Structure 1
Amino acid sequence: MLRINNSIAFHENTAIALASVLGNVLVVLAVYVNRALRNTTFCFIVSLAVADIAVGVLVIPLAIIISMGFNTQFYTCLFLTCLLLIITQSSILSLLAIAIDRYLRVKIPTRYDTIVTQGRAYVAVCLCWMLSFLTGLVPMIGWNTHDAKGNSSSSREIFCKFTAVMSMDYMVYFNFFGWVVAPLTIMIALYGEIFRVIRRQLNQRAEATCDGDRYYQKELKLAKSLALVVFLFALCWLPIHIMNCISFFCPKCYIPKFATYIGIFMSHVNSALNPMVYAFRIKRFRLTLIQITRRCMLCRPIQSTQCTTSTPALTEKVDVNL
């Protein structure tokens, strides 16, 4: 029975990995093909897509291997588990960067172009990834179970499992409270303010020009789509973190292995959901995906395109296309 369950889990995770890689490669390709999508927001979305591709290519296979367990040196096992944290951290920091970008977009629309340039967006993406590596590799410099479990020799082989090398106080206090709860709280506050500003502007512009009204309607629609991405991230990642908290604060509490598996599986599913949100809720992105699919089916080379549309007085042409 255990062998059958392991086989089912393997095939489910493999399917999620393939869906995540395929969907997010299409996200990157869509931004490459359609120049109208090459704005600062989609720069951060591409960063998020790269992190989700890494989940499919690296994190899910590693998670499967680590869940099965194997013999290796302590710090080799620790480094592999740290890679899982790095990718997760890059995802949440990319989401935070997107929220800040959209907040500036509606808060200071007239100065947005001069403050949020493409070059600064690239720098922000690099900083997100650098910070992800720094926070994810913290266990490598000492915050681990090496001394607690009496592993006096780093060359001695251990049975590699996540809980065998990763300290739960690091996972709960530093990783969860510091780098998951805090960014999510900031994002919730930012999107709350974004919706408030947009609603206020729409109410003030009830008798104003159609162009101004259309600008804020577009911003509202895109903000809802990106807020949905944040909601799905929280929905998929909070269960496994909450179970870690229960295990840490209540060691005697029993958590079924099946529940742990569901929590891990949901965290993997999140990487495959984002492309579907973009496709169903962002029209220009959806049309670009249709174009890519048609060209691939007809075996034609995919060329970069520039879609032209009329531009409202208060907005740049890029956001109108969204």
Structure 2
Amino acid sequence: MMTLEEAEHCFPQINTSCRKHSRPQSESMIISILMSFISLITVVLNLLVIVSISHFRQLHTPTNLLLLSLAVSDFLVGLFVMPFQILLIEPCWFLGALVCVLFYFLTFIIVTASIVNMVLISVDRYVAICDPLRYSTRITQKRVKICVLLCWIYCVFLSFLFLSDNLKKPGRYNSCYGQCVINISGVADLILGFIIPVSTIVILYLRVFVVAVSQARAMRSHITAVKLQSSVTVTVKKSELKAARTLGVVVAVFLMCYCPYYGFSLSGSDIVLGSSTDLFIVFLVFFNSSLNPVIYALFYPWFRKSVKIILTLEILRHSSHQAHIL
């Protein structure tokens, strides 16, 4: 009969096996159910964003292509990262050292892609607000597609750079059998994965905010003689300002979700998923992928219209891709 001490190990038959956490089974079950539900919501909502932007021709704009790339990374977080993260609630990893490294390798690509996509979105809004006359010539669909491709290539490169030692010898940093631990240079990850991208995002959006405020004041000023061309320009600026405000909310939520995790790294603390606090901090990073589609639903009428067409199966009509969404 198995003793109590053996039952506390991941692999009772192996002396070097890792010990299980003493977390109550009810607590572990609640955490698993909650994360599974949020994972499902993340997949469904981001899939709706992907289908909407991909299917409807009116939504094929440079800005929406960046939102599409962001939705793909968020979709992969819900489909791949969150389910595997449930397995890491306990230290017992039953899938082997190689799968452990591959999991972190793909997770690093996906999460870094979300950060770099935020940088691209900030650049797009910066040009649209601060240099609107040359926006259509500087930000084209072709250039945006190239930037999105380079974004994902850059994320793969960083993953190989940071995890090359782990890929050469999986499990080399495990302290006990059944553990899933990798080693990443905290300083390099902090600088390349957070400080530089976030600094870029904050600087660009501060500039956008200053210009947007000045333009809003100009629009409210009493101008008696306005030419037709000027009125068209004002209308365009209003739409750009609205898009900037919406994407500003996306960026703000992104910062709130990511800053606690990297704050720990900046303070020199280690994050271990055995602690409920650390588990919440890591989960908050992934929860950002669930919030982005909710923001779209609240602020983008085109997203609500496209979701209605998708859910009512009108999307199956032959000419549905030409529907008036905007």
TM-score scaled by structure 2?
A: 0.80
How has the CA–CA distance of structure 1 residues 147 and 93 changed in structure 2, closer, same or farther, with 3 Å as cutoff?
closer
Which residue of the partner structure matches residue 108 of structure 1?
131
Matched, 1:224 2:245: yes
Which residue of the partner structure matches residue 165 of structure 1?
182
Identical positions, percent = 24
Which residue of the partner structure matches residue 61 of structure 2?
39
SS in 2 for 1:67: coil
Give me the whole-angstrom Cα distance separating, in 1, the residues matched to 2:316 and 2:166: 52
Q: Displacement of 1:173 after TM fit? A: 1.2
How has the CA–CA distance of structure 1 residues 259 and 301 changed in structure 2, closer, same or farther, with 3 Å as cutoff?
farther
Q: Displacement of 1:41 after TM fit? A: 0.6
Which residue of the partner structure matches residue 321 of structure 2?
304
How has the CA–CA distance of structure 1 residues 242 and 203 changed in structure 2, closer, same or farther, with 3 Å as cutoff?
closer
Which residue of the partner structure matches residue 52 of structure 2?
30
SS in 1 for 2:133: coil
User: Which residue identity lines up with residue 293 of structure 1 in the other structure?
Assistant: L
How has the CA–CA distance of structure 1 residues 34 and 141 changed in structure 2, closer, same or farther, with 3 Å as cutoff?
same
How has the CA–CA distance of structure 1 residues 7 and 255 changed in structure 2, closer, same or farther, with 3 Å as cutoff?
closer
Q: Displacement of 1:100 after TM fit? A: 0.5
SS in 1 for 2:178: strand
Counterpart of 1:178 (choices 159, 176, 192) is 192
Matched, 1:62 2:79: no
SS in 1 for 2:66: helix
Which residue of the partner structure matches residue 9 of structure 2?
none
1:118-156 CA-partner distances (Å, limit 9, x unpaired): 1111110000101111112323323799799678xxxx9
Could you tell me which runs of 5 or more consecutive residues in structure 2 were left unpaired when the two chains were aligned: 1-22
Q: Displacement of 1:282 after TM fit? A: 1.4
Whether the 8 Å CA contact 2:166–2:172 is kept in 1: the answer is: no
Give me the whole-angstrom Cα distance separating, in 2, the residues matched to 1:255 and 1:47: 29
Give me the whole-angstrom Cα distance separating, in 2, the residues matched to 1:122 and 1:165: 33
How has the CA–CA distance of structure 1 residues 16 and 301 changed in structure 2, closer, same or farther, with 3 Å as cutoff?
farther
User: Which residue identity lines up with residue 203 of structure 1 in the other structure?
Assistant: R
Which residue of the partner structure matches residue 12 of structure 2?
none
Aligned residues: 296
Which of structures 1 and 2 has the bigger CA Rg? 2
TM-score scaled by structure 1?
A: 0.81
Whether the 8 Å CA contact 2:43–2:78 is kept in 1: the answer is: yes
SS in 1 for 2:313: helix
Give me the whole-angstrom Cα distance separating, in 1, the residues matched to 2:89 and 2:276: 13
RMSD (CA atoms): 3.1
SS in 1 for 2:321: coil
1:74-130 CA-partner distances (Å, limit 9, x unpaired): 454223212211110000111111111111112222222222221111110000101
Which residue of the partner structure matches residue 19 of structure 1?
41
1:221-250 CA-partner distances (Å, limit 9, x unpaired): 11111111111111112222323444xx25
Which residue of the partner structure matches residue 117 of structure 2?
94
User: Which residue identity lines up with residue 285 of structure 1 in the other structure?
Assistant: F
Whether the 8 Å CA contact 2:39–2:79 is kept in 1: the answer is: yes
Give me the whole-angstrom Cα distance separating, in 2, the residues matched to 1:278 and 1:51: 16
Whether the 8 Å CA contact 2:98–2:170 is kept in 1: the answer is: no
Whether the 8 Å CA contact 1:33–1:288 is kept in 2: the answer is: no
* 1:134-173 paired onto structure 2 within 5 Å: 134-142=157-165, 158-161=177-180, 164-167=181-184, 170=185, 172-173=186-187
